[in-house]
């Protein structure tokens, strides 16, 4: 039984509490990271400057820079355009070829762009592919997500996890006057590409047999059961609401009902009306809400109910569309009521699908999470404004085009950042920041857009977990774990496999960046006790394990985003992801020693 001194017990307690909060999701992960920093600094385990050092790391600067590039790519339609050109071209194409295209396109784009951003951009394109080919979309979206996860392994800038591990590696191996060691920009590109090819091969073989066929092309109203909680109530003579605006008549979200349309004999119907539309005698109101709210309104206004056919929910200028909440949406963390969604957007939410469960009533009170699907009713211009805002992904067949010179400016600056980092002594973080300055100077993005484009919670997570990683090393805990592993009878290959599998296991239950940063000091201490120069090989086991977030929808934002539109269940990710994880673990244990000294 190992013995621990007080600082080690504190670090273990902080680690255990972090794991508990990550697993239970009781606190946001950026709040957990801040509590980690405060605990380590307040307890004296780390000096204040050491605890805060992660927030000023090159990793934070580079990740922030890549978020800005990701936003600009999305703003100017680059990812969508590339996806459409590569996935929608050609005539009749079979499912196998489509799967290979999806894996390669998503994987290669994720090598230089945020994988969550790439998956978000390609979900509508993949949905269009499914509609045109008749292939259930549930057979396409899991491969899209998994390809994005593995594609992020092809460059240092592919994911925030790569950047964070590389920066912690450099920091922990630095000595006075001597810079620390780190990976090159393209050092593991070939390794990552081989894993991507393995993913493509998997979905051509056994993986394809395991993909569910649950979600087929169907009417959106039927899928969301939209008419189940919709009533048509006619306004009789002498009703107290005649001549009053909807909001003044008690017919709004705050009163538990939503007005989806006003049907008028002899006049054009008013679908998706605004809150200030006036009610007339003889109008038929299409109301959505829970049973008690509808009954209350019916009784108070002496209205007459009738069956509502699905066709009434749309009209020539009002559409019904399915949407998905992407990573980085401003709606996250609140409710539709908090966001004053209907008033700000002019759109009605008719239903929310969350983790496979449909919610049709009290929608304004439901917390919004990444991957939630919504059935939205609204006028075309309002829907297009929502599409441009990226608050929701619109799943329809509207083809986007490159939106101006900003697309080419963004592409040129991104290539310049990559080439400058690869060919000059400038650090990649400096190149990334210079690229952001170029985006600002060319007006491809604005300062206000930059503030909204950066996922500050991820930056806080990186800074906080780097402090935990340093405390893990400075207190000797990493050394003790490494000694325990090194003193076993395991050979180098089993040790490599253990590191990979443990990191992969942590990734399924906590944030993948946090899992990688916790395991990085352990890998470095194990490397110090093994003969030979095997630091990078063991670190690659950590990086790879943190990328295999396949087995739960909460392991990564990519999985969460495809869950709703694919109508997936938790077991689908385990059924499809577990065999793929095993395949890639075995392949990685074979390949890593071939690329790095071991």
Burial of 544 (0-12, 13-18, 19+ CB in 10 A): buried
Does residue 299 contact residue 342 with C-beta atoms inside 8 Å? no
- Residue range 384-400: mean pLDDT, rounded: 76
What pLDDT is recorded for position 223? 60
For the record, the structure tokens of 152 come out as 């992020």
Q: For the segment 354-378, what is each residue's pLDDT rounded down to a tens digit?
A: 876 777 767 778 889 888 888 888 8
Q: Of 8-17, 46-55, 235-244, which range is least confident?
A: 235-244
Q: For the segment 29-45, what is each residue's pLDDT rounded down to a tens digit?
A: 889 999 999 999 999 99
Residue 563 to residues 21, 278, 325, Cα–Cα distance (Å): 23, 40, 11
Asked if residue 312 has pLDDT above 90, the reply is no
Does residue 568 contact residue 551 with C-beta atoms inside 8 Å? no
Does residue 338 contact residue 283 with C-beta atoms inside 8 Å? no
Q: For the segment 39-72, what is each residue's pLDDT rounded down to a tens digit?
A: 999 999 999 999 999 898 899 999 999 999 988 8
Residue 175 to residues 47, 180, 562, Cα–Cα distance (Å): 19, 7, 44
For the chain, the 3-state helix, strand and coil shares in percent, each to the nearest 5, are: 60, 10, 30
What pLDDT is recorded for position 305? 57
Does residue 260 contact residue 348 with C-beta atoms inside 8 Å? yes
**From CA 300, how far away is CA 372, in angstroms rounded?**
34
- Residue range 319-328: mean pLDDT, rounded: 84
What pLDDT is recorded for position 363? 77
The domains of the chain are located at 218-400
More confident: 457 or 84:
457
Q: For the segment 187-210, what is each residue's pLDDT rounded down to a tens digit?
A: 999 999 999 999 999 999 999 999
Asked if residue 232 has pLDDT above 70, the reply is yes
Q: For the segment 428-463, what is each residue's pLDDT rounded down to a tens digit?
A: 999 999 999 999 999 999 998 888 888 888 899 899
What pLDDT is recorded for position 417? 93
DSSP 96: H
Q: If DSSP codes are grouped into helix, strand and coil, which group holds residue 249?
A: coil
Residues 6+ apart with CB under 8 A from 574: 551, 552
Asked if residue 581 has pLDDT above 60, the reply is yes
What percent of the chain has a predicted confidence (pLDDT) above 70?
Answer: 89
What pLDDT is recorded for position 207? 93
Asked if residue 490 has pLDDT above 80, the reply is no
Sheet holding 270-271, edge to edge: 270-271, 257-263, 284-289, 230-234, 304-306
More confident: 247 or 130:
130
What pLDDT is recorded for position 13? 92
- Give the other-Cβ count within 10 Å of 65's Cβ: 26
Does residue 169 contact residue 539 with C-beta atoms inside 8 Å? yes
- For residue 43, list its beta bridge partners: none
- Give the other-Cβ count within 10 Å of 113's Cβ: 25
For the chain, the straight-line distance linking the first and the last C-alpha, in angstroms and rounded, comes to 30
Domain 218-400 superfamily per CATH: Regulator of K+ conductance, C-terminal domain (3.30.70.1450)
Sheet holding 373-379, edge to edge: 357-359, 348-354, 373-379, 318-324, 393-395
Output the DSSP codes for 256-315.
TEEEEEEE-TTS--EES--TTPBP-TT-EEEEEE-HHHHHHHHHHHT-EEE---GGGG--
More confident: 540 or 302:
540
Burial of 219 (0-12, 13-18, 19+ CB in 10 A): exposed
Name the residue among 167, 58, 165, 76 with its Cα closest to residue 113.
76
- Residue range 492-510: mean pLDDT, rounded: 90
Q: Are strands 318-324 and 393-395 parallel, antiparallel or unpaired?
A: antiparallel
Q: What is the mean pLDDT of the chain?
A: 84
Asked if residue 216 has pLDDT above 60, the reply is no
**From CA 392, how far away is CA 591, in angstroms rounded?**
40
Buried b (16+ CB within 10 A) or exposed e, 420-459: bbeeeeebbbbbbbebbebbeebebbeeebbeebbbebbb
Q: What is the 3-state secondary structure (H, E, C) of 430-486?
A: HHHHHHHHHHHHCCCCCHHHHHHHCCHHHHHHHHHHHHHHHHHHHCCHHHHHHHHHH
- Residue range 375-398: mean pLDDT, rounded: 81
What pLDDT is recorded for position 290? 65
What pLDDT is recorded for position 110? 92
């Amino acid at each position: 039984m190992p013995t621990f001194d007080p600082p080690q017990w504190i670090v273990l307690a902080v680690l255990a509490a972090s794991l508990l909060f990550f697993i239970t999701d009781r606190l946001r992960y950026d709040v957990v990271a801040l509590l980690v920093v405060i605990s380590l600094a307040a307890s004296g385990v780390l000096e204040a400057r050491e605890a805060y050092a992660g927030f000023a790391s090159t990793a934070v600067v580079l990740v922030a820079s890549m978020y800005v590039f990701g936003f600009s790519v999305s703003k100017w339609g680059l990812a969508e355009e590339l996806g459409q050109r590569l996935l929608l071209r050609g005539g009749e194409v079979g499912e196998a070829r489509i799967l290979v295209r999806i894996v390669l396109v998503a994987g290669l784009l994720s090598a230089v762009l945020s994988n969550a951003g790439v998956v978000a951009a390609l979900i509508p394109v993949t949905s269009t592919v499914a509609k045109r080919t008749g292939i259930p979309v549930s057979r396409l979206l899991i491969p899209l997500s998994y390809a994005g996860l593995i594609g992020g392994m092809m460059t240092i800038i592919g994911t925030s996890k790569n950047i964070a591990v590389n920066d912690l590696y450099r920091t922990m191996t630095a000595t006075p006057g001597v810079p620390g060691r780190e990976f090159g920009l393209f050092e593991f590109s070939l390794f990552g590409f081989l894993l991507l090819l393995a993913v493509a091969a998997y979905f051509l073989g056994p993986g394809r047999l395991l993909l569910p066929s649950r979600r087929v092309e169907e009417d959106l109203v039927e899928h969301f059961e939209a008419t189940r909680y919709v009533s048509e109530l006619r306004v009789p003579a002498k009703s107290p609401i005649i001549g009053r605006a909807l909001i003044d008549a008690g017919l709004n979200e705050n009163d538990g009902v939503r007005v989806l349309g006003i049907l008028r004999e002899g006049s054009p119907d008013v679908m998706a009306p605004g809150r200030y539309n006036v009610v007339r005698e003889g109008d038929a109101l299409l109301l959505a809400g829970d049973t008690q709210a509808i009954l209350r309104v019916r009784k108070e206004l002496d209205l007459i109910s009738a069956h509502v056919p699905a066709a009434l929910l749309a009209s020539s200028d009002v559409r019904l569309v399915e949407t998905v909440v992407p990573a980085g949406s401003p709606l996250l963390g609140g409710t539709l009521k908090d966001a004053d969604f209907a008033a700000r957007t002019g759109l009605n939410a008719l239903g929310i699908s969350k983790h496979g469960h449909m919610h049709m009533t009290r929608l304004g009170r439901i917390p919004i999470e990444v991957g939630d699907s919504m059935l939205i009713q609204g006028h075309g211009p309002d829907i297009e404004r929502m599409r441009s805002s990226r608050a929701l992904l619109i799943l329809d067949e509207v083809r986007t085009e490159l939106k101006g010179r900003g697309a080419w400016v963004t592409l040129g600056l991104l290539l310049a950042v990559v080439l400058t980092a690869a060919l000059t002594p400038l650090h990649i973080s400096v190149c990334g920041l210079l690229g952001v300055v170029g985006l600002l100077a060319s007006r491809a993005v604005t300062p206000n857009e930059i503030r909204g484009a950066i996922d500050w919670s991820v930056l806080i997570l990186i800074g906080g977990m780097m402090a935990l990683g340093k405390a893990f090393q400075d207190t000797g805990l990493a050394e003790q774990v490494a000694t325990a592993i090194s003193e076993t009878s395991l050979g180098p290959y089993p040790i490599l496999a253990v590191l990979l599998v443990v990191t992969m296991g942590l990734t399924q239950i906590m944030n993948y960046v946090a899992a990688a940063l916790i395991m990085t000091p352990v890998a470095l201490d194990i490397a110090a006790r093994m003969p030979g120069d095997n630091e990078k090989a063991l670190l690659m086991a950590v990086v790879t394990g943190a990328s295999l977030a396949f087995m739960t929808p909460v392991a990564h934002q990519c999985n969460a985003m495809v869950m709703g539109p694919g109508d997936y269940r938790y077991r689908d990710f385990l059924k499809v992801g577990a065999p793929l994880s095993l395949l890639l673990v075995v392949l990685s244990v074979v390949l890593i020693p071939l690329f790095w000294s071991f």
